[in-house]
Amino acid sequence: MQTTQILKGILTATLLLALGSPATAAAPPRRSHVDGEVLVKYRQNRAPGKRAGDRAARGLSTVQAFRASGVRKVRLPADMTVDQAVALYRSDPDVLYAEPNYRYRLQALPDDAEMHRLWALVNDGTDGTTDADMDADQAWELETGSRDIVVAVVDSGVDATHPDLAANIWTHPGETPDNGIDDDGNGYVDDVHGWDFADGDNRPVDTHGHGTHVAGIIGAVGNNGMGVAGVCWRVSIMPLRYITAADYGTTADAIAAIEYAAANGADVINLSWGGGDYSQALKDAIDAADALVVCAAGNGGNNLDVVPTYPASYDSAAILSVAASDADDFPAAFTNYSDSRADVAAPGTGIYSTVPARRTLFEDDFSDDTHWVADGAWGLQSIYGNEVLTESPAGAYADDMDAWARLETLSLAGISGARLDFSVIGSTAGDGDRLVVEASTDGTTWNRLWVGLDDGPAESISGTIGTWQLAVADLQAYDGAASLSIRFRFISDGSGTADGYLIDNLAITCADTGQGIDAYQYYQGTSMAAAYVSGTAALIMVQKPTLTPTEVKLLIESTVDRKPQLEGFVATGGRINGYQAMVSVAAVDLRSRAAATDRIDLDWTVGDPVDSGFEIQRRPDSGSDYSTIAIVGTDEFDYVDTGLSDGTTYIYRVLTLSGGDRTGYSNETAATTPRAVGTASSGSGGGGGGGCFIATAAEKRAFFEKGRGMTIGLGAALLILVLIVWEKTRQIHRQPVVIHPSHRSDGTGTESGPTGP
């Protein structure tokens, strides 16, 4: 390689990869989906039909089925592209949809800026604006958390041994540790502390760092004399790993993790990652989860209405989409935004939280080549007095080259969370010339490793990397291997040559379970913002366990600190405020019942005195906007809402008032007015009397069908019951009454006694 084209750089910090981060290299385009796989969902109550046999004959096979969403992962034959398979399935009328298995990336940006460490929770103005925070100190006076609330972190894993997290890691109540048995029959053996969906084992160890940082924001143990405090001092963090150290994860693995979280009782599911491809399968999995799903809006600085990021941009009642704000309550420079697709803002710049501690197994600055065996031209080259490894020490690489440099064999016995890091810079003449990283446990069969770079994960490195970059490869699949070989392999075609690549600062590290209390770092991104919202949601659920996920979402949205500079960036125009959300969970228990076809009665009880009164709000079931229908005094605890439409569902809530300000929200409650019944003509004879309203059989059936699964007001139920009894009585009175003889025999066989009607 020509030294005049290279400037040696220094890597000063671990680099986190992020969707939409500024590219530092012109890299070749990469596929946004997994080759050789598609996701398919059949229409409801439809099984694969006659065409399934044709597809099987062509080598298509289902390799994974997701029970909750009904989606199937299908493996393709080697001669079929993803586009061809999608077209084939979409031509089948029994198929609801078919799509690629998209890849996703974490939503975090690298940052090593020094700032007040917990400004997001309590901002004293040291680095930012005073009170540009979540008022966590005030919220903690009301509630600090509970391990009964489960927050699933679907991410790169979590360091369950971190001293500031270990006490808050979720434990599967139905699983016996290390017995090799799937005790609860959920398909996952020994999933005591979550699952690794990337490698298919019960060790969701964080080789990236992102998931542990997110987990610390949500639930680092508080008041323990060390490190930091999460939003929840006590909580159950469920570690679910689906993204590797190379910042690589697939739709199928994300779906599996979300379904696992929902099936195992997660109250909140945190998704601090995203991508630009719309997956209906992923949306179905989110919609099927009975949990609040908090999503990072993304870090590309884009308007989500123009450049959407998924899952944050899905139109789903389950999702709370979060943009990032800074320490002055302005939108973070990198955050995606939208006044319709981003719901709230939360702190996301310079966030200090937990990261996994790591120890070094092997490192090489290439001062010599004693640890390497080379094939072909590979060797060392001196760049400004520093030795580096390269495939072409003498200058440009050759055409039609296939050569490698192999590291001496290492043992990973007893190791968890192994990872390869190295620095790389250089260029190739075209996409056909590429650098790959491979691993082998026997020195014969080599497996290609995905490599994480600034602009995303790749199976191979090609194109121009103009400044030194950190490259990361995940080795966790080889944890415990008695023998592991790693090699760099350079392949070129005959289209031309270039300088090639330089490699430096190589290290193989693993999780350090004997870490101290200093495993913390600053990150920034909407990932961090989403984590603050997840923690806040968990606190609310502790204080008011009866709230539904939708009600918790509404509470967070309705209690933001509104800021003019956030108007237009998020739908609520504000940054979350944990304290306001907590005090807004007023001790008001609201009930509703339909009393007539045009009337619903409300009543409520309160746990604490109210200063100014109660504001009663109503919205139709088909809409989302509340309107105020009445304000009543502090000594009034019921209200009659009249003039309503029959057969209509209305939703209510009551707000507590103090000095004209809204200080709390009750639970939401719904009631349905009964359908108005028809008028029957007056009867004569039988039961006698005048005219009466009679529900026809069709009307009664329609009423009960409409009311199935809903809370029917007591008054409405009694009304229908009276009508039914009245009709039955009227029918009886219309029938002839027969008085039977006494059946007394006089010995002649002739019955005696009255026989008339």
**Is the sign of the CA dihedral 491, 495, 497, 500 positive or negative?**
negative
Is residue 535 within 8 A of residue 272, CB to CB? The reply is no
* Cα distances (Å, whole numbers) of residue 103 to 57, 98, 100, 282, 467: 28, 16, 9, 11, 26
Angle, CA 242 vertex, CA 454 and CA 453 arms, to 5°: 10
Q: Which amino acid is at 629?
A: I
List of E strands, 532-683: 561-562, 574-575, 588-596, 599-606, 613-620, 627-632, 638-642, 649-658, 661-665, 669-672
Whether residue 527 lies in the annotated active site: yes
47-55 contacts at long range (C-beta below 8 A, 24 or more positions apart): 47/94, 48/94, 49/92, 49/94, 51/92, 51/94, 55/88, 55/89
CA 64, CA 638: separation in Å to the nearest integer? Answer: 54
* C-alpha–C-alpha distance, residues 489 and 476, integer Å: 21
Residue (of 308, 306, 339, 346) closest to 324 by Cα position: 346
Helix (H) or strand (E) holding 533: helix 526-543
Instruction: Give dist(CA 240, CA 129) in Å, integer.
Output: 36
Sign of the CA dihedral running 378, 417, 423, 364 = negative
Tokens 């693993």 appear where? 510
Q: Do residues 399 and 493 touch, judged by C-beta distance below 8 A? A: yes
Residue 594 CB coordination number (10 Å): 28
Note if 454 is an active site residue.
no
Taking residue 747's Cβ as centre, other Cβ atoms within 10 Å add up to: 5
Strand arrangement, sheet containing 195-196: 195-196, 234-241, 145-155, 268-271, 292-296, 319-325, 344-347, 574-575, 561-562
Determine the angle formed by the axes of helices 526-543 and 549-558, rounding to 10 degrees. 110
Out of 69, 325, 492, 527, the active site residue is: 527
Query: Active-site residue among 92, 111, 135, 155?
Result: 155
Sign of the CA dihedral with 643 first, then 647, 648, and 649 last: positive
How many Cα atoms within 13 Å fall on the side-chain side of residue 196?
21
Q: Whose CA is closest to 7, among 606, 450, 504?
A: 504
User: Is the peptide bond prior to 311 cis by the omega test (within 30 degrees of 0)?
Assistant: yes
The dihedral built from the CA positions of residue 296, 302, 303 and 309, taken in this order, carries a sign that is negative
DSSP H helices, 220-250, are none
Half-sphere exposure of 713 toward its Cβ, with a 13 Å CA cutoff?
Answer: 27
Of 440, 421, 429, 446, give the one whose Cα is nearest residue 503. 421
Residue 249: φ, ψ to 5°: -150, 155
Residue with tokens 């270990």: 166
Residue 648's DSSP bridge partners are none
SS3 at position 705: helix
CA angle 163-168-170, nearest 5°?
125
Q: Provide the phi-psi class of 689: left if phi over 0, else alpha when psi is between -120 and 50, else beta.
A: left
The active-site residue, picked from 210, 279, 561, 584, is 210
Q: Are strands 234-241 and 145-155 parallel, antiparallel or unpaired?
A: parallel
**CB–CB of 434/462 below 8 Å?**
yes
Does 279 participate in catalysis according to the annotation?
no
Q: Which residues are catalytic?
A: 155, 210, 527
